């Protein structure tokens, strides 16, 4: 088969460069990316560099306000807040990104299969998604954690299980519309195998949508994990995610408001940045979206 007459991949290299340029012009997204990079850097470096660790209590330094030896103050057990918040960021980011990746993987596989297969397989798979969509997940996760005990793995799985539904729907829709585009018919008429079609034509077009929604899933997941931690259902002490820190802070907000506000600021920063980044990616990769 003469490679020269194969239809070009639908998303050519030039289009990726165009998208990159569009992204670079989107100022809020760039600011968001910079802020995220800054937070990640802090989260990685501070615990390594700081003389304090996140678990050791210091009975002489209980409830110190920010300033002096402890840049952000200390908590009820004398532990340095800066280090604890950085560990909190680590955990929130880790769980957020990892769980998002898992749910994106599940969602893409599910949606692409349903969309590509079509017919009754598609209907069945999507009915399952519809049914799962109406299951009240937050109460269910709480119930599961209560019944099966607190386990990091459970939280992880539960979070991932919640978010794959949206991505599955989107990917299925995209696959369906791709399937019916003329270039797929042309490729099929040339006798390309199913695998080649999926790899050269379907996947590059899906990639754009998947990147956008993966980035937009991360803040939802981070918030969900924070919510579970706030309820005391997340990681075990002395480890603390941002949700746990906020929960502790809320208990002491009348006397030591900084215990609440500082982790809250970091959580908001991270979540907002991911949202703006997702918006920027959406504008860059899908310019039909009018802003």
Partner 1 sequence: MLKFLGRRLLIALPTMLVIATLAFGLLHATPGGPFDTAKRMPPEIQRSIEAKYHLDEPLWRQYLRYLNDLAHGDLGPSFQYRNTSVNELVRAGLPVDAVVGSLALLTAMLVGGFTGTVAALRRNSLWDHVPMFFAVLGISIPVFVTGPLLILVFAVQLHWLPSGDWRGIDIRYLLLPVAALALPYTAYIARMVRGAAIEVFTSPFIRTARAKGLPTRTVVLRHALRPVLMPLVSFLGPAFASVLTGSIIIESVFGLPGIGRYFLTGAINRDYTLVVGITVLYGALIIAFNLLADLCYAWLDPRVRLQS
Residues that bind partner 1 (CB under 8 A): 127, 130-131, 134-136, 138-140, 142-148, 219, 223, 226-227, 230-231, 243, 246-247, 249-250, 253-254, 257, 260-261, 264, 267-268, 271-272, 275-276, 279, 290
CB of 147 to partner 1, least distance (A): 5
For residues 10 and 132, which CB has a smaller minimum distance to partner 1 in the complex?
132
Q: How far apart are the first and last CA of the chain?
A: 44
For residues 175 and 275, which CB has a smaller minimum distance to partner 1 in the complex?
275
CB of 212 to partner 1, least distance (A): 15
CB of 105 to partner 1, least distance (A): 24
DSSP symbols for 13-82: HHHHHHHHHHHHH-HHHHHHHHHHHHHHHHHHHHHHH-S--SS---TTSTTPPSBTTBTT-B-TT--BHH
For residues 69 and 287, which CB has a smaller minimum distance to partner 1 in the complex?
287
C-alpha torsion angle, residues 154, 156, 159, 165 (rounded to 10): -100
For residues 193 and 268, which CB has a smaller minimum distance to partner 1 in the complex?
268
For residues 105 and 264, which CB has a smaller minimum distance to partner 1 in the complex?
264
CB of 154 to partner 1, least distance (A): 13
CB of 41 to partner 1, least distance (A): 21
Give the number of C-alpha atoms closer than 13 A to the C-alpha of residue 116, restricted to the C-beta side.
16
Beta bridge partners of 70: 67
Compute the Cα dihedral for 282, 284, 290, 291 and give only its sign: positive
Contact 162, 137 (CB under 8 A): yes
CB of 181 to partner 1, least distance (A): 23
Contacts of 4 (CB under 8 A, 6+ apart): none
Could you tell me the CA-to-CA distances from 41 to 34, 84, 85, 270 in Å, in that order? Answer: 10, 15, 13, 13
Contact 243, 92 (CB under 8 A): yes
For residues 88 and 219, which CB has a smaller minimum distance to partner 1 in the complex?
219
């Amino acid at each position: 088969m003469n490679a020269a007459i194969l239809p070009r991949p639908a998303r050519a290299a030039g289009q990726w460069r165009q998208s990159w340029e569009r992204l670079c012009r989107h100022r809020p997204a760039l600011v968001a990316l910079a802020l995220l990079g800054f937070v990640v850097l802090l989260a990685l470096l501070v615990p390594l560099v700081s003389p304090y660790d996140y678990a050791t209590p210091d009975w002489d330094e209980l409830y110190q306000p920010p300033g002096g030896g402890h840049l952000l103050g200390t908590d009820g057990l004398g532990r340095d807040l800066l280090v604890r918040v950085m560990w909190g960021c680590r955990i929130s980011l880790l769980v957020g990104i990892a769980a998002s990746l898992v749910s994106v993987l599940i969602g893409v596989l599910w949606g692409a299969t349903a969309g590509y297969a079509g017919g009754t397989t598609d209907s069945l798979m999507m009915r399952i998604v519809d049914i799962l969509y109406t299951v009240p997940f937050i109460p269910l996760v709480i119930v599961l954690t209560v019944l099966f005990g607190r386990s990091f793995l459970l939280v992880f799985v539960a979070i991932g299980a919640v978010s794959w539904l949206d991505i599955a729907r989107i990917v299925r829709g995209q696959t369906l519309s791709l399937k019916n585009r003329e270039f797929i018919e042309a490729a099929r008429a040339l006798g390309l195998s199913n695998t080649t079609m999926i790899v050269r034509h379907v996947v590059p077009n899906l990639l754009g949508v998947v990147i956008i929604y993966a980035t937009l899933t991360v803040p939802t997941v981070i918030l969900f994990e924070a919510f579970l931690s706030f309820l005391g259902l997340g990681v075990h002490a002395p480890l603390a995610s941002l949700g746990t820190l906020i929960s502790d802070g809320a208990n002491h907000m009348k006397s030591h408001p900084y215990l609440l506000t500082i982790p809250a600021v970091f959580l908001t920063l991270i979540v907002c940045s991911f949202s703006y980044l997702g918006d920027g990616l959406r504008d860059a990769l899908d310019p039909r979206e009018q802003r």
